[in-house]
Amino acid sequence: MSKKLFAEFFGTFWLVFGGCGSALFAASVNLGIGYLGVALAFGLTVLTMAFAVGHISGGHFNPAVTLGLVAGGRFSAKEAIPYIISQVLGGLLAGAALYLIASGKAGFDATAGFASNGYGEHSPEGYSMAAVFIAEALLTGFFLLVIHGATDKRVPAGFAPIAIGLCLTLIHLVSIPVSNTSVNPARSTAVAFFQGSWAVEQLWLFWVAPIVGGIIGGLIYRVLLEKKD
């Protein structure tokens, strides 16, 4: 179990450091990577860590994924809380590392956003709370459908990280303008803690919506799509 928890810790660290780091350091510079680059960065973090440690822990790196897999009958409920704690701690450590690096530049101000998720005036393009909730829940639900399908025993083994990583890239391409894309409560918590004001106040949505969507996605696959023995 300790190996599984360390795998989730390091995997979530890499997701936050690579994904949010790309948004903080490379998206806004001249000829920066933009939305497309940030979307690819998040997808690549999951793809690389799923190959690196997925065989140890299953490669969740996301509380909504863990609970969606529980709902889908693919993961033990009794292991869910330790997994989620490890994910949140890994994300927070990555947030701390990003803060230390970013604060080394003159004029740094974490309250300006720090790659945080938001709605209303804190949405990148001004989307409402309801719109952000729907987007986060819907996209997380489809993410869980892809995860369940890609790891189904009927699918050729070894390709799941590619499908999952590309799915997360697509999710970010759709929703970065809407919410700065969460679909992952650990990712949202990791940077909201260091932003320290409005991101913390709005954090509830980026826990509730992804978890609701993830559970629904897991249940849909389990009830409607999974082949019964």
Residues 6+ positions from 211 with CB-CB distance below 8 Å? 63, 64, 67, 140, 185
| Amino acid 30: pLDDT | 61
pLDDT value for 216: 98
Q: What is the pLDDT of residue 158?
A: 86
Q: What is the pLDDT along the chain (229 residues), one digit of tens a residue?
A: 999 999 999 999 999 999 999 999 998 766 678 999 999 999 999 999 999 999 999 999 999 999 999 999 999 999 999 999 999 999 999 999 999 999 999 989 999 899 999 999 999 999 999 999 999 999 999 999 999 999 998 888 889 999 999 999 999 999 999 999 999 999 999 999 999 899 999 999 999 999 999 999 999 999 998 877 6
Give pLDDT, residue 157: 80
- Distance CA(4)–CA(174), nearest Å, equals 31
pLDDT attached to residue 115: 95
Q: What is the pTM of this model?
A: 0.94
Q: Is 104 helix (H, G, I), strand (E, B) or coil?
A: coil
Q: Which domain covers residue 185, as residue numbers? A: 1-225
The per-residue pLDDT for 212 is 98
Total of domains in the chain? 1
CATH number (domain holding residue 204): 1.20.1080.10
User: Exposed (0-12), middle (13-18) or buried (19+): which is 86, by Cβ within 10 Å?
Assistant: buried
